Amino acid sequence: MDKKYGAYICTGCGIGDALDIEGLTGAAKEQGMQAKVHEALCSVAGRELIQNDINNDGVNTVVVCACSPRVMKDEFNFGDDKYVTRANLREGVAWCAEEVTESRSAEKVKEFATEKGQDYVRMACVQAKKGDLPDPYKLETINKKILVMGGGIAGMTAAMDAAKAGYAVTIIEAQDKLGGKALGWRKQFPTAAPWTGLEEPTVQAMVAAVQAEAGITLKTATEVARIAGAPGAYKVTLKAAGTKSEWDAPKKVGVDEQDKITKGEMEDPNLGLQPYMAEDTAAEDFGAVVLATGWNPADVSEYAHLGYGKLKNVVTNAEFEKLAKTGKVPASVAFVQSPGGAEHDQDFPYCNSVTSMVALKQARYVREDNAAEGKAYVLYQHMRTPGNMEMFYKGAQNDDGIFMTKATVTQVEESGNGLAVHLKDTLLNEDVTLNVDMVVLAAGMVPTTSDKPTINLAYRQGPAFLDLELFDGYADSHFICFPYETRRTGVYACGGVRKAMNMEETIDDACGAALKAIQSIESADRGVAVHPRSGDGTYPEFFFQRCTQCKRCTEECPFGALDDDEKGTPKPNPTRCRRCGTCMGACPERIIGFKNYNIDQIGSMVKSIEVPDDDEDKLRIIVFACENDAYPALDMAAMRKLPQNALVRVVSVRCLGSVNMAWIKDALAAGMDGALLLGCKFGDDYQCHFVKGSELAEKRMANIGETLGSLGLEPERCGVRQIAINEYNKVDEIINEFVEEIIGLGPNPFKGF
């Protein structure tokens, strides 16, 4: 695109008071842009100023120097054919200016703030010069049919909701009939006032409705043999349940295996080169997948003191439900909700409110089947009955035959014809022994992805969801922010495979996954990303002539978006891509980039920062802040007028995984004194929106630290710090600590060279 630039500086919201505006226009001028100044660019008059330049002077690349790029997005959107960059002068400088103190005069504060503002103006101008408008990748043909794996409550609901929205759906179910585990339930939780009584199961009515729905194709006793392709263009091969297929032995494709690929498959733009290259004539086309394969009861045999597997009448809650469905339950039953022993204050793994409510439901069976002599003892550490289920809990509490107490079970053993349950009642602080006919353990709901991690994806990274062991077997890409989204774009999980949940929750959940599947298909059709960069029309482009086939990009992509071609070169699947830029950060050849986010652009922005080489009070520290947590936290800190260190210059990045170490080298080579990566938390509490970007950044920074050491620079000049979005009150402290460390090291010895 032939660019015609327009730069605009806002003096509203305190910017004009905190910064020297002439200094800012001067910085734009250095970049060849004659900036216009307005008192409120976001106002009607301010926007008109810009729009008139677009209409009358042909401006198509707009540099807005005003508030954070996270706000006023609509106000500064001048159409899809106009490229807009933003300099964050308000939150990034004016609102976080340092406080005037005895040692720092008002003039000095303004001088430092203006220098920071000038750098942000320079960077926004360079960003405009080096970036371009997105050119969305679109599939030539798109298939909008949805495959639902699993025909239980979750799968049936997702299928019905998608069908009602006008999308063709195929349900595959490994069993020979629909209904899943709900077929074995005797009663359901209440779904209406007064929320105290049990209800008759509705699963058969759901099955009948699904069977009558014209938009749904049913395939029972069927499993997936292979899923190849990408969102909007999946090729799915099905097989009879329980049978083997040629793709059952999962393995990663290697260059040495490429010769097994048929020529036809190589040329198929949708299928592309895939790990399992046998003829696949029976494949069906789909656009997205809903994963509703449910859960399995957790193994509770490891708790030896509870006797499961050894004592005949110690059963799980799932086994008790079967017994209750087919016959009469015993007259006295203890429901053990937590393992006791050394883990006395914990629940069983994979438990939550569902297992509390199941115990209350099953206690009711004891009362229903045994009238006056029925006695149910619910022994819990945590009783969770959210929302209206509090009434259900109260109903059980008011039943004379249901006894509930907080207790630690120390031993279950045979006693006469029954069982003796030894416990410490932690409410009464008494040791108690209960003599019962049966003990029911609250086994949790383990996602099927834990036992069977593969959905037979024909992806270079393998057929399964990666890193399941790190996430307790769950396939989510982000457990807080993006429900339903797995670590494979286009595959959306719901129901028990996503979280332990009851039927009502499952129905809501399935609707969400169906909508996500539809969103994925429609996003692929428009050539834009799904969460978290929904609507982003860019995608990674590769300059393959310089690719060394090192495969770092294919291996580090958190979403398996890259396969290999016949020569072993990365083969992008843009509709699988979430636009995180991890591949760009990984590539040592620096040949991956997006139209509006690339190595040259960010590197040039960094180099445009003015680094004084004769003033020890003016060290410069570059902070690459992830746009998902760290950058918002910085904005929020500024909204609370928390001062930010005047020496830092912040660059927003898509993910710390996208930070190419070339930028760090550029910064230090330009004389900057330190480089900090500020991103999401990783480890057990991971919050990275792109699964592992911050973790990768930590590893890469450790490597660059070694390189710096060999150059005679202190490795401590480069750091990685973690921050959650709600820790805005800590972010300045974290930055200040790092800056203090750099001040302690002194100026970059290569400054000025």
As measured in angstroms, the least distance from the Cβ of 706 to ligand SF4 is: 20
Quick check: 253 binds ligand SF4 (CB under 6 A)?
A: no
Q: Which two tokens stand for residue 192?
A: 């209406």
Burial code (b: 16+ CB inside 10 Å, e: under 16) for 445-479 equals bbbbbbeebebbbbbbbbbbbbebeebebbbbbbe
Q: Which of 548, 703, 726, 729 lies at the binding interface for ligand SF4 (CB under 6 A)? A: 548
Phi/psi at 166 (nearest 5 deg)? 100, 10
Task: Give how far Cα 585 sits from Cα of 189, 556, 672, 704, Å.
Answer: 50, 10, 20, 13
As measured in angstroms, the least distance from the Cβ of 598 to ligand SF4 is: 12
- The reply to whether omega before 297 is within 30° of 0 (cis) is no
As measured in angstroms, the least distance from the Cβ of 582 to ligand SF4 is: 4
Quick check: 559 binds ligand SF4 (CB under 6 A)?
A: yes
Phi/psi at 104 (nearest 5 deg)? -130, 105
Which residues partner with 572 through β-bridges?
562
How do 295-297 and 288-291 pair as beta strands? unpaired
Task: State the sign of the Cα–Cα–Cα–Cα dihedral 316, 319, 325, 327.
Answer: negative
Site size for ligand SF4 (CB under 6 A): 26
Quick check: 551 binds ligand SF4 (CB under 6 A)?
A: yes
As measured in angstroms, the least distance from the Cβ of 530 to ligand SF4 is: 11
**Which segments of 613-669 does DSSP mark as H helices, in order?**
630-639, 661-669
Closer to ligand SF4 by Cβ: residue 511 or 561: 561
**Burial of 20 (C-beta count, 10 Å sphere; 0-12/13-18/19+):** middle
Quick check: 578 binds ligand SF4 (CB under 6 A)?
A: yes
Contact range with ligand SF4 by CB under 6 A, out of 32-40, 291-299, 332-340, 570-578: 570-578
Closer to ligand SF4 by Cβ: residue 384 or 551: 551
Closer to ligand SF4 by Cβ: residue 201 or 558: 558
Q: Which two tokens stand for residue 394?
A: 């109260």
Task: Give how far Cα 527 sits from Cα of 272, 290, 324, 372, 683, Å.
Answer: 18, 21, 52, 66, 33
Q: Which of 589, 610, 714, 741 lies at the binding interface for ligand SF4 (CB under 6 A)? A: 589
Quick check: 457 binds ligand SF4 (CB under 6 A)?
A: no
Q: Which of 453, 570, 671, 747 lies at the binding interface for ligand SF4 (CB under 6 A)? A: 570
As measured in angstroms, the least distance from the Cβ of 145 to ligand SF4 is: 24
CA distance 575 to 592: 17
Q: Which of 363, 511, 561, 653 lies at the binding interface for ligand SF4 (CB under 6 A)? A: 561
CA distance 249 to 252: 10
CA distance 361 to 191: 13
As measured in angstroms, the least distance from the Cβ of 412 to ligand SF4 is: 50
Q: Which of 167, 393, 542, 663 lies at the binding interface for ligand SF4 (CB under 6 A)? A: 542
As measured in angstroms, the least distance from the Cβ of 503 to ligand SF4 is: 35
Quick check: 682 binds ligand SF4 (CB under 6 A)?
A: no
Quick check: 562 binds ligand SF4 (CB under 6 A)?
A: yes
Quick check: 252 binds ligand SF4 (CB under 6 A)?
A: no
Quick check: 550 binds ligand SF4 (CB under 6 A)?
A: yes
CA distance 480 to 679: 16
CB 423 within 8 A of CB 327: no
Contact range with ligand SF4 by CB under 6 A, out of 83-91, 440-448, 588-596, 735-743: 588-596
Quick check: 163 binds ligand SF4 (CB under 6 A)?
A: no
As measured in angstroms, the least distance from the Cβ of 531 to ligand SF4 is: 12
CB 390 within 8 A of CB 398: no
Closer to ligand SF4 by Cβ: residue 392 or 492: 492
For residue 70, count other CB atoms closer than 10 A to its CB: 16
CB 532 within 8 A of CB 632: no
Quick check: 662 binds ligand SF4 (CB under 6 A)?
A: no
CB 180 within 8 A of CB 294: yes
Quick check: 486 binds ligand SF4 (CB under 6 A)?
A: no
Closer to ligand SF4 by Cβ: residue 162 or 586: 586
As measured in angstroms, the least distance from the Cβ of 658 to ligand SF4 is: 7
Quick check: 527 binds ligand SF4 (CB under 6 A)?
A: no
CB 509 within 8 A of CB 498: yes
Quick check: 581 binds ligand SF4 (CB under 6 A)?
A: yes
Quick check: 537 binds ligand SF4 (CB under 6 A)?
A: no
As measured in angstroms, the least distance from the Cβ of 551 to ligand SF4 is: 5
Quick check: 674 binds ligand SF4 (CB under 6 A)?
A: no
Q: Which of 540, 632, 671, 719 lies at the binding interface for ligand SF4 (CB under 6 A)? A: 540
For residue 258, count other CB atoms closer than 10 A to its CB: 16
**Burial of 731 (C-beta count, 10 Å sphere; 0-12/13-18/19+):** buried
Contact range with ligand SF4 by CB under 6 A, out of 233-241, 301-309, 467-475, 576-584: 576-584
Quick check: 586 binds ligand SF4 (CB under 6 A)?
A: yes
Quick check: 553 binds ligand SF4 (CB under 6 A)?
A: yes
Contact range with ligand SF4 by CB under 6 A, out of 68-76, 211-219, 236-244, 575-583: 575-583
**Burial of 3 (C-beta count, 10 Å sphere; 0-12/13-18/19+):** middle
Closer to ligand SF4 by Cβ: residue 161 or 695: 695
Q: Which of 186, 239, 406, 579 lies at the binding interface for ligand SF4 (CB under 6 A)? A: 579
Q: What angle do CA 355, 359, 362 make, to 5 degrees?
A: 130
Quick check: 626 binds ligand SF4 (CB under 6 A)?
A: no
Quick check: 557 binds ligand SF4 (CB under 6 A)?
A: yes
- Written in H, E and C, the secondary structure of 402-471 is EEEEEEEEEEEEEECCEEEEEEEECCCCEEEEEEECEEEECCCEEEHHHHCCECCECCCCCCECCCHHHH
What is the enclosing helix (H) or strand (E) of 324?
A: helix 317-326
Binding mask 44-63 for ligand SF4 (x = CB under 6 A): --------------------
Quick check: 583 binds ligand SF4 (CB under 6 A)?
A: yes
Binding mask 636-655 for ligand SF4 (x = CB under 6 A): --------------------
Task: Give how far Cα 85 sits from Cα of 62, 90, 130, 131, 132, Å.
Answer: 6, 15, 11, 9, 10
Contact range with ligand SF4 by CB under 6 A, out of 260-268, 332-340, 369-377, 573-581: 573-581
Cα radius of gyration rounded to whole Å, the chain:
30
As measured in angstroms, the least distance from the Cβ of 410 to ligand SF4 is: 50
What does the chain come to in residues? 753
Binding site for ligand SF4 (CB under 6 A): 540, 542, 547-553, 557, 559, 561-562, 570, 577-583, 586-587, 589, 591-592
